[in-house]
Structure 1
Amino acid sequence: MHQAFQDKHDGLSLRMGTEPEMMWLKKDENGKPNGGYSNPYCYHIDQFESLRPVYMKVMEYSRKMGLDMIQGDHEDAPGQLELNWMFDDVLRNADRLTTYRQICAQVAREFGIIACFMSKPFMGVSANGCHHNMSLWRGGEDKMRPTGNDPDNLPGLPHNYMYVSGGDNTFMPDGDDVQMPGKAGLAAIGGIVHHLRALTAVGSSTVNSYRRLWDTGFWAPVFADWGFQNRTTGLRVSAPGRFEYRSVDSMVNPYLMGSTILAAADDGIDNSLDPGEPEERNIYEAIQAGKQVKKLPMTLGEALEALAEDKVVQRGMPGEMYRLYHQYKHDEWERFNHTVTEWDVETYLDCLP
């Protein structure tokens, strides 16, 4: 998909950086989750330090595997960390996110704890999001980053340590507005805004994903709009030169997310789709002022219906992929709907209507 996109658009390529939030949880005597390994205090240095043995082991393994680790912080849920590596070509970044998850699972085994990427294991605290920061570039070349290893004796495959560097970022402003992306970048954003409801079925791919959208007040976006540094919209320009797709959580398949974003961006460029004016107000205030804004799907079933109606996003799942995705995810949604939950029992068991 990426190669076809590059060939079609004169070498235009997608670079992606992901922000995988996840929770490190303690186990009870039965091996079940028993609260966080740290307390839910956002950006708290002491809580971050309490997880130092865990994240230092994650970083050690990650660097051996070619992940250029650049930053990390404690988020505001129990045991919740976000560790980031340098952005890169969309496919290599997907490989690294997949590798990172496996590394976290191994470290959890070594420490006797749980590495949880489930979107919403607890209500009333932030979910595990996985924001995708994207930009479209022309040019650039692969350069070796040993990530702290001996460059003459790198473990693994040399390709693991390649990162694309340089080139021209089409998401950088090219006019007087220092925030507004350039023309090609803006058209790509228009495509993503236009297809945001269908993309939600890929970015929020589980029944549990939508607990994140319903638990309001914890920064999860529920509206199909965009803005500058606006955390109440599904998309935002988080910094000049990059665009943050926010309607995605840590259960995402990064390969499908990358390929469907490419399909939406391709449609935006082909048809010069206008994303509309960036919304700088709190989206709830804008709605109260009379703005008509589409909501994102609020259940997996609704998202799958939006995807079923969107042939452009389906192009990001070529061959048998869309049919299989539709089949498996509809099965997941139907199995949930014929399951009696604890909520059902607690709410209705003693009712005498």
Structure 2
Amino acid sequence: MVKANPVTKEDVLQAVTECDVKFIRTQFTDTLGMIKSWAIPAEDLEGAFKNGVMFDGSSIEGFTRIEESDMILMPDPSTFRLLPWRPKEGAVARIIGDVYRPNGKPFEGDPRYVLKQAIAEANKLGYSMNTGPELEFFLFGLDEKGHPTTNLTDKGGYFDFAPLDKAQDVRRAIDFALEDMGFKIEASHHEVAPSQHEINFRFGDALSTADNIVTFKYVVKSIAYHMGYYASFMPKPLFGVNGSGMHSNQSLMKDGENVFYDPDTPDQLSVTSKQYIAGILKYIREFAAITNSTVNSYKRLVPGYEAPIYCTWSASNRSSLIRIPASRGLGTRIELRCPDPACNPYLAFAVMLRAGLEGIKNEMEPPASTDVNVFKLTDAEKQARGIESLPGSLKEAIDLMAGSEFVKNVVGDHVFTNYLKAKNAQWDEYKAQVHQWELDTYLSIL
């Protein structure tokens, strides 16, 4: 009998035989979070577990130079999943791997390795991180050639149902596919903007959750396309409506207990949780280029669309960057509201976790909770409270990251250098373009 989610090499090889798997799609992400994948015959999987799969790292964004291009992908058996939308006869599965150099050492440019290093730092202090993301996305129409458009597929709003939510069948098919792949779906619904959706899955440890985010985006896009839709995780594809975020709930566990919970304080939040919050607030501007990684990300972080702009925290205010949901006990957690689904989840969780740990190690104290609508405060009032803003553009964010020893220490020299190089190139390309707004505003008057 095949286990639902095999975790050992032996389990996986048994599943491959019993489920008639013919091909395995090996996967990893590049520095920017793009999935890289190629298929190997099922009969080669046992050898891949032993020796890895060789590939050319010089062709991957942010990996290696041409003269040091050989890389090895070592499949992680715990990530093996059947692709439920593919035929059951001659089935196809996917597996995520870790990238190594030919000398057997982990490749320091592998985002999954960066997160593993952050997790190891937490483990040294006796902590493990749980995180639960809330990913939003749009379902758009395809043109006659099958190319993506921004044509709306419905005019529904928050929690709307058919007939306003016309894509509910697509979302239901996505839910079923995710459940078949071992996800525990906690909520699936239409979001605020037309054609916008959200599917939340159960929290888990940081590495498994980052793997799940990569899988989630892959599944959503695949199912949507098979059903004639295009799923976009672009943070702000439409002007005038809400963008898509990836609110990131997180907590720390120690000896089976949630260390963010303290029943003896007025708000039932522990000193450790406040220190963790303080660490994130201290470094958030420096790592925003990772949690909000595109030019388009900063078009979501503007007033009027429920996205956070100001570096504050609160247990009762959704305008704050960090919100404390009402759950207590094992459910005590913080919710960082700025990340968006375009980020590389491995790097994003790494910088969040390490920032929180810095707060704990250095016993930082956060500013007072901001329990008023920050958007209604005047500039003078924000200044008096010491409230800073998130970066207003990718350029501001990458300049802040470039001067951050904290981010450099977390992601390592290789990722730090190559990530900034790629993002500066994106910004330079963007700023050289002539955009439609400029033509609409200036062409007829200048």
Give your verdict on TM over 0.5.
yes
1:259 aligns to 2:350 (yes or no): yes
Cα deviations by residue, 1:224-252 (Å, 9 ceiling, x for unpaired): 11111312121111233110001111111
Number of the residue aligned with 1:15: 130
Q: Does 1:279 align with 2:366?
A: no
* Cα deviation code 1:120-150 (max 9, x no counterpart): 01011110111000001113xxxxxxxxxxx
How much has 1:260 moved relative to structure 2? 0.6
Are 2:99 and 1:5 equivalent residues in the alignment?
no
Aligned pairs for 1:175-214 (under 5 A) are 175-179=264-268, 181-214=269-302
Aligned CA-pair RMSD: 1.7
The verdict on how the C-alpha distance between 1:113 and 1:225 changes in structure 2, with shifts beyond 3 A counting, is: same
The SS at the match of 2:225 is helix
Q: Which moved more, 1:337-346 or 1:121-130?
A: 337-346
The correspondence of residues 94-243 of structure 1 with structure 2, limited to 5 A, is 94-139=210-255, 167-179=256-268, 181-214=269-302, 216-239=303-326, 240=328, 241-243=332-334
Match for residue 75 of structure 2? none
Aligned counterpart in structure 2 of residue 304 of structure 1, from 372, 376, 398: 398
Structure 1 stretches (4+) deviating beyond 6 angstroms?
none
Q: Distance in 1 between matches of 2:225 and 2:316?
A: 38
For structure 2, the residue ranges without an aligned partner over 5 or more in a row are 1-116
Inter-partner Cα distance in structure 1 for 2:144 and 2:439: 26
Residues 35 and 78 in structure 1, CA contact (< 8 A), matched pair in contact too: no
| 1:58 aligned partner | 174
1:45–1:81 CA distance, 2 compared to 1 (3 A): same
Q: What one-letter code is carried by the residue in structure 2 that aligns with 1:293?
A: I
Partner of 1:336: 430
Equivalent-residue separation in structure 2 for 1:208 and 1:272 (angstroms): 35
Aligned partner of 1:145 in structure 2 is none
AA in 2 matched with 1:198: E
Cα deviations by residue, 1:91-135 (Å, 9 ceiling, x for unpaired) = 100100110100011112211111010000101111011100000
Question: Contact 1:39/1:47 (CA < 8 Å) preserved in 2?
Answer: no
Which protein, 1 or 2, shows the higher relative CO under an 8 Å CA cutoff with sep ≥ 6? 1
Taking structure 1 as the reference length, the TM-score comes to: 0.87
Q: How far apart in 1 are the matches of 2:428 and 2:227? A: 36
Is contact 2:140–2:148 with CA below 8 Å preserved after alignment? no
- Equivalent of residue 417 in structure 2, options 283, 298, 323: 323
Cα pair 1:47 1:74 within 8 Å, conserved: no
- Kept in 2, the 8 Å contact 1:198–1:303? The answer is yes
Larger Rg: 2
Per-residue CA deviation, residues 251-292 of structure 1 (Å, 9 max, x unaligned), is 111100011112211211111111111111111344464433
Is the Cα–Cα contact under 8 Å of residues 118 and 410 in structure 2 kept in the other structure? no
In the aligned structure 2, how far is the partner of 1:178 from the partner of 1:293?
22
- Please list every run of 5 or more consecutive structure 1 residues that lacks an aligned counterpart in the other structure: 140-166
Aligned to 2:140: 25
Cα offset, 1:319, TM superposition: 4.0
Q: Deviations over 1:164-217 (max 9, x none)?
A: xxx1001113433135x2122211111001111112111110000111113x21
User: Residues 272 and 47 (structure 1 numbering): CA distance in 2 closer, same or farther, change over 3 Å?
Assistant: farther
User: SS in structure 2 opposite 1:132?
Assistant: strand
Distance change >3 Å, CA 48–CA 267, structure 1 → 2: farther
- Length, aligned pairs only: 322
Structure 1 residues 270 and 34 mapped into 2: Cα distance closer, same or farther (>3 Å)? Answer: closer
One-letter amino acid of the counterpart of residue 335, structure 1: E
Structure 1 window deviating more from structure 2 (288-297 vs 299-308): it is: 288-297
Find the aligned partners of 1:89 and 1:327 in 2 and give their Cα distance. 31
Q: Is the contact between residue 226 and residue 233 of structure 1 (CA under 8 Å) also seen in structure 2?
A: yes
**Is 1:247 matched up with 2:362?**
no
Partners of 1:229 and 1:324 in 2: CA distance: 39
Which whole-Å CA distance do the structure 2 matches of 1:35 and 1:177 have between them? Answer: 49
TM-score in terms of structure 2 length: 0.69
Provide the secondary structure at the position in 1 that maps to 2:177.
Answer: helix
Amino acid in structure 2 at the alignment position of 1:52:
Q
> 1:145-170 deviations in whole A, cap 9, x for unaligned?
xxxxxxxxxxxxxxxxxxxxxx1001
Percent of aligned pairs sharing the same letter: 30
1:90 to 197, 206, 212: 206
